[in-house]
């Protein structure tokens, strides 16, 4: 069965840590693909502050 696992973090180092932790528990031959995206927007609650969202979707065989 093919499944996905989605991660979303405010900082790229946090995303890297989460993804690496997940990858360490699945067999390497079960990994199909990893999709990565960065979203940037202005914070409506704080003036002159930019918000980042780093996300990854891992597609793998279970």
Residues contacting residue 7 through CB under 8 Å, at least 6 positions apart = 15, 18, 19, 22, 55, 56, 57, 58
pLDDT tens for 16-38 read 999 999 999 999 999 999 999 99
pLDDT tens for 1-12 read 999 999 999 999
21: left (phi over 0), alpha (psi -120 to 50) or beta: alpha
Count of C-beta atoms within a 10 Å radius of residue 15 = 19
Per-residue model confidence (pLDDT) at position 8:
97
């Amino acid at each position: 069965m093919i499944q996905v696992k989605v991660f979303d973090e405010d900082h790229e180092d946090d995303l890297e840590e989460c993804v690496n932790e997940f990858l360490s528990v699945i067999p390497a031959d079960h990994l199909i693909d990893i999709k990565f995206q960065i979203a940037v927007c202005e914070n409506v609650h704080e003036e002159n502050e930019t918000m980042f969202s780093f996300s990854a979707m891992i597609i793998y065989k279970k």
